[in-house]
Amino acid sequence: MHPFKRLFQYSKNYQKDIGLGVLYSSINKVFDIMPEILIGIAIDTVVNKERSLLAKLGYNVAKEQLLILGVITALIFVFESLFEYLYSVKWRNLAQNLQHDLRLDVYSHIQNLDIAYFENKNTGNLLSILNDDINQIERFLNNGINSIIQVFLSSILIGIVFFILNPSIAVLSLLPIPFILFGAFYFQNKIGPKYYEVRENAGILNSNLNNNILGIATIKSFTTENYEFKKIEQLSSQYKKANYNAIKFSSAITPVIRMAVMFGFMIILVYGGYLTLDNQLNVAFYSILIFLSQRLLWPLTDLSEITDNYQRSLASINRVMDLLKIPTKRIDIGQELALRNIKGHIECKELKFSYTNHTILNNISIKINSGETVAFVGTTGSGKSTLLKLLMRFYEKNSGQILLDGKDISELNLSDLRRSIGYVSQDIFLVNGSIADNIAYGSFQASREEIIHAAKLAEAHTFISAFEEGYDKMVGERGQKLSGGQKQRIAIARAILKNPPILILDEATSAVDNETELAIQKSLEKLVIGRTTIIVAHRLSTVRHADKIFVFNNGEIIENGKHEALVEKNGMYASLWNIQMGEINLNLKLQNSIV
């Protein structure tokens, strides 16, 4: 489907505005070409006086004819200006409204895409679509559509006038137009893929710039500024080269069109002059043809800029609409859940999940009773965090079942399911707001007292109170003004404030010191009462008191049970435990030797 047809279908709520915009642009163009006709009539009045065109209408006095022409001219300019104002307001407002709707729809669509989508796409490309591509569409709607309407309508209207005044001149003067249009569309088809390449290169460049700015501390610590500069320089050169290839074609359009315009103007000037000298053409008509030829042919030189803008817009529309076509997951359908009725009994039956032909989970079957605290442990990449993501339906399973209180979660209202889970990941997301804003994120109606209470349970109140601004301290972009441990405790306080029936802690204490970890564990002992809790941890000391521990290895559960039983079993868990205890004992010996 053609990109503009896709955009037109998207903008169905603005069909009336589009129609009015086309109408205003068309009426403006009608008034716009009339002054040239009046100039020819004025010349006829001055030259022929009582034998002029207006004299034939009953106005015999030449000065009276000029006054009439003056009044008509004034009215024409008033109406031309009025409709120029109307079409300008209509197209610009339409551009702003569509830009606003597109950006919100694309952002909303992105939020509903599966997590797997983001693992295959770079952030910069998405930002490029949200900003550059949508802004390009807005620029085209501002000026481009009106320019296309006026250029083509001008050709039609002036062509009609030419045929009325002198058909032979009309045919000859219009001969270049097919060649002009053919040339414009020929170059347009050549430019289209090149501008798509420009947009893709812009996305890659933006992605790397965004990634480097976020990782500036790492770049500085490894003194890789020159390396990163050269990488950005290379990507920028690729972007420049893509633009250069597009510019070569777009710049060639205007000279080609000018040659065709020159040929058409020459025909009117010479051939029309011969007919006038031979008294076969009225001098007024000759004047009108000369003036209107400027309006007919020279605006076609704008086709280069119009085509350039048009092709940039085609590439942007395709990128935006292609993104909107990607299937999303509806979060507002399915069986509804009442949070107060959720008991938190979770069961997985023969669960399988593969990603890019690589098996992540294979025949996972577990039961977690309501109110239990269970732990998932194992080596990196063994499938622990993947199971959590399946539980929250960030991914969809390949086969098997996940049941919540006996109900298949694939049949539940996704929004209700996620509201029932308090999730603290190892990758902490903080908004660029205050500490209080971040703790209350998702629980926006919480009072200050409730926020402070949650912070105390998460062992965050002490360090927050030490700040001069307290809970009103701004955390900065991605929480850069806080340490890793402080960010994790705020994330835990956020989950506590949510007060969900199910709590998931995915390496939630990985960035805190041993002392803080012990403090958080004490608060978690109170927090987990009455709710189902799943803890993923590499530090086995964090989960030794769990009701049940599941040991993952290569996507399978190879052991499960309580801490003591697993240690006695002398299997993989015991090996991991002995390794970690050996490291702890070694650290204690080193500390004692230093003391």
CATH number at residue 480: 3.40.50.300
Confidence of residue 218 (pLDDT cuts 50, 70, 90): low
Q: Is 288 a member of any domain?
A: yes
Amino acid 24: pLDDT:
92
Residue 39 lies in a domain: yes
- 3-class SS of residue 362: strand
For 48, 234, 422, 455, 475, the CA distances from 438, given in Å and listed in that order, are 84, 39, 14, 11, 9
Query: Rounded to whole angstroms, how far apart are CA atoms 75 and 61?
Result: 21
In a domain, 286, yes or no: yes
How many folded domains does the chain comprise?
A: 3
Q: Are residues 347 and 437 in the same domain?
A: no
CA distance to 38, 128, 215, 243, 537, per residue, from 208 (Å): 59, 12, 10, 19, 32
Q: Is 458 helix (H, G, I), strand (E, B) or coil?
A: coil
Quick one: which H or E segment has residue 373?
strand 373-378
Structure confidence at residue 86 (pLDDT): 93
Which position has the higher pLDDT, 113 or 119?
113
Q: What is the pLDDT of residues 359-411, one digit of tens each?
A: 888 888 999 999 899 999 888 888 888 898 889 888 888 889 999 988 988 88
- 252 lies in the same domain as 389: no
Quote the tokens at residue 141: 């709607």
Other Cβ atoms less than 10 A from the Cβ of 413: the count is 17
Give me 509's structure tokens.
């204490």
Q: Answer yes or no: do 444 and 536 share one domain.
A: no
Percent of the chain with pLDDT over 90: 9
Q: Do strands 373-378 and 399-404 pair parallel, antiparallel, or not at all (unpaired)?
A: unpaired
Are residues 262 and 385 located together in one domain of the fold? no
330 three-state secondary structure: coil
Report if residue 584 sits inside a domain. Answer: no
What residues does 403 pair with on adjacent strands?
347, 408
**Does a structural domain hold residue 594?**
no
Look at residue 592 and tell me whether its pLDDT is greater than 60: no
Mode of pairing for the β-strands spanning 407-408 and 421-424: unpaired
Output the pLDDT for position 336. 77
Closest CA to 292 of 44, 71, 34, 28: 34
The reply to whether 344 and 459 lie within a common domain is: no
In terms of average pLDDT, the best of 159-173, 328-342, 343-357 is 343-357
Q: Evaluate whether residue 383 is within a structural domain.
A: yes
Backbone angles phi, psi at 123, to 5 degrees: -60, -40
Say if residue 435 is in the same domain as residue 556.
no
pLDDT level of residue 595 (50, 70, 90 thresholds): very low
Question: Do 493 and 550 fall within a single domain?
Answer: no
Q: Is residue 330 part of a domain?
A: no
The residue among 102, 21, 43 whose CA lies nearest residue 316 is 102
Arithmetic mean of pLDDT over the chain: 80
The residue among 499, 534, 553 that closes a domain is 499
Angle of helix 225-277 versus helix 176-214 axis, rounded to 10: 160
SS3 271: helix
pLDDT tier at 300, thresholds 50, 70, 90: low
Q: Which residue has the tokens 């930002």?
A: 127
- Give CB contacts under 8 A, 24+ apart, made by 82-88: 83/24, 83/25, 83/27, 83/28, 83/31, 84/28, 86/20, 86/24, 86/28, 87/21, 87/24, 87/25, 87/28, 87/146, 88/146
Name the token pair of 333: 């359908």
Given this model, what pLDDT does residue 548 score?
Answer: 92
Q: Which among 325, 350, 374 is the end of a domain? A: 325
Distance of CA 370 to the CA centre of its chain: 41
Q: What is the rounded average pLDDT of the residues 188-212? A: 76
Question: Which of 327-336, 412-421, 472-481, 585-594 is the least confident region?
Answer: 585-594
Q: Which of 383, 306, 337, 360 is nearest to 552 (CA)?
A: 383
Closest C-alpha among 492, 500, 498 to residue 522: 492
Which residues constitute the domain of residue 350? 337-420+502-561
Instruction: Check whether residue 433 and residue 488 sit in a common domain.
Output: yes
Q: Point out the domain boundary residue: 270, 296, 325.
A: 325
Domain contains 590: no
> What are the tokens at 23?
């109408």
Closest C-alpha to 43, from 26, 62, 58: 62
Spatial CA neighbour of 191 closest among 110, 312, 331, 306:
312
Question: Taking each helix axis from N to C terminus, what angle separates 303-325 and 145-165, rounded to the nearest 10 degrees?
Answer: 140
Bigger pLDDT: 551 vs 522: 551
State the pTM of this model: 0.69
Q: Please, which residues have CB within 8 angstroms of residue 399's CB and are 6 or more apart in sequence?
A: 350, 351, 352
Residues 341, 373, single domain; the answer is yes
**Closest C-alpha among 274, 290, 287, 284 to residue 49:** 284
Tokens for 545, please give them: 């008191």
Whether 313 and 358 map to the same domain: the answer is: no
Same domain, 102 and 140: yes
Distance CA 355, CA 321 (A): 26
The pLDDT of 13-18, averaged and rounded, is: 86
Roughly how many angstroms between the first and final C-alpha of the chain, as a whole number? 76
Q: Which of 258-267, 459-468, 525-534, 554-563 has the lowest mean pLDDT?
A: 258-267
Q: Are residues 171 and 297 in the same domain?
A: yes
Sign of the alpha-carbon torsion through 179, 185, 188, 190: negative
The mean pLDDT of 199-226, rounded to a whole number, is 76
How many residues does this entry show for the chain?
Answer: 595
